């Protein structure tokens, strides 16, 4: 049973708790710190304060509270990761299902185009798109989402191929149902687990790519507290104020690890072929 499999799944427990912590942080921070008043204002008299009672994570070269900026950065990071994955799923899931269901020459054409895009590194595709669209948060989200569409297509196509000859699909064809009905009403409800697992894993990768774009000043723009941007701005302060680099770096690493662990836990939980829970 699913509950029994959940009991032995430490990854979904640990990863889920970590993900929930970051989500809670992102939801609560607007009620704790005012964005304009606490995040953007400069207080030169307080610059380079080491971590302590007044500034838990210290202050940066503009006198801004690093702790407040890291908390707000969680909100921005989750927006980038979740929104870009939604873009990838919105395009990749229908394409993958149609390609797998159609088969033959249409599948061949779609997959050859898809494979060509998969050969390109995601960062390269995102850089190209952002350079064309312009450097801002929403263009970065769109670029990251587009760069991950081919991977979603490949995963969903494989799941669709495994179902298209099942009895319930054959029965729908016998009733005279069209391709769109069969794909979206019969097949889609049966591959939601695959889509959910892919989304959970892909968010971590999207966050990495978003941080890379922000580090290159192509994503989140100053003075917004994106973690990748904070790391870029603090690279020259590593000896003078190392806390300005350490805390956003640790936060970025933890959120990526949390989504990867949670995504792997989801895969093990929802994959009926996984027998690792039966060891006890």
> 146 Cβ partners below 8 Å, 6+ apart?
87, 88, 91, 125, 126, 129
Q: Give the position of tokens 């779609």.
A: 110
> 30 Cβ partners below 8 Å, 6+ apart?
75
Asked if pLDDT for residue 269 goes beyond 80, the answer is: no
Which of 71, 66, 94, 56 is CA-nearest to residue 22? Answer: 71
d(CA 28, CA 177): 48
Domain-located, residue 23: yes
d(CA 102, CA 165): 12
Q: Across residues 71-98, what is the average pLDDT?
A: 92
Domain-located, residue 162: yes
Rounded to a whole number, what is the distance in angstroms from the first to the last CA of the chain?
14
Q: Across residues 93-99, what is the average pLDDT?
A: 90
* Domain that includes residue 175, residue range: 12-36+59-272
Which of 2, 44, 3, 58 is CA-nearest to residue 234? Answer: 58
CATH number of the domain within which 96 lies: 1.10.3720.10
d(CA 74, CA 200): 17
The most distant pair of C-alpha atoms in the chain lies apart, rounded to whole Å, by 77
Which carries the bigger pLDDT value, residue 180 or residue 46? 180
Domain-located, residue 48: no
- Number of separate domains in the chain: 1
Alpha helices, DSSP H, located in the chain: 2-7, 10-32, 66-102, 104-118, 122-133, 137-161, 167-174, 179-181, 192-215, 227-234, 243-270
Contact 140, 213 (CB under 8 A): yes
Asked if pLDDT for residue 7 goes beyond 70, the answer is: no
Residue positions counted in the chain: 280
pTM of the model: 0.85
Domain-located, residue 278: no
Which of 164, 184, 179, 157 is CA-nearest to residue 99? Answer: 157
> 188 Cβ partners below 8 Å, 6+ apart?
93, 97
Encode pLDDT of 145-175 as tens digits.
999 999 999 999 988 888 888 888 888 888 8
d(CA 202, CA 85): 7
Instruction: Categorize the per-residue pLDDT at 80 as very low, low, confident or very high, splitting at 50, 70 and 90.
Output: very high
DSSP class of residue 183 equals I
Asked if pLDDT for residue 242 goes beyond 70, the answer is: yes
Encode pLDDT of 26-79 as tens digits.
899 888 887 776 676 666 777 787 888 777 888 888 888 888 889 888 999 999
Domain-located, residue 42: no
Asked if pLDDT for residue 2 goes beyond 60, the answer is: no
| pLDDT value of position 207 | 92
């Amino acid at each position: 049973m699913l509950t029994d499999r959940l009991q032995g799944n430490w990854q979904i427990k640990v990863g889920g708790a970590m993900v929930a912590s970051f989500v809670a942080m992102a939801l609560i921070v607007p009620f704790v710190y005012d964005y304009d008043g606490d995040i953007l204002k400069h207080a030169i008299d307080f610059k380079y304060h080491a971590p302590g009672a007044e500034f838990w994570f210290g202050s940066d070269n503009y006198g801004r509270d690093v702790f407040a900026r890291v908390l707000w950065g969680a909100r921005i990071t989750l927006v980038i990761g979740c929104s870009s994955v939604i873009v990838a799923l919105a395009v990749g899931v229908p394409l993958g299902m149609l390609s797998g269901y159609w088969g033959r020459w249409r599948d061949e054409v779609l997959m050859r185009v898809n494979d060509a895009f998969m050969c390109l590194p995601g960062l390269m595709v995102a850089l190209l798109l952002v350079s064309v669209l312009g450097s801002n948060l929403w263009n970065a989200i769109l670029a990251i989402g587009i760069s991950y569409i081919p991977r979603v297509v490949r995963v969903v196509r494989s799941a669709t191929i495994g179902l298209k000859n099942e009895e319930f699909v054959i029965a729908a064809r016998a009733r005279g149902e069209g391709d769109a009905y069969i794909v979206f009403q019969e097949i889609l409800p049966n591959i939601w687990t695959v889509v959910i697992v892919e989304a959970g894993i892909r968010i971590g990768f999207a966050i990495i790519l978003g941080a890379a774009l922000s580090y290159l000043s192509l994503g989140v723009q100053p003075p917004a507290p994106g973690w990748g941007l904070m790391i870029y701005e603090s690279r020259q302060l590593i000896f003078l104020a190392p806390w300005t680099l350490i805390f956003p770096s640790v936060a970025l690493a933890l959120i990526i690890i949390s989504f990867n662990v949670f995504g792997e836990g989801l895969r093990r939980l929802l994959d009926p072929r996984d027998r690792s829970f039966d060891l006890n």
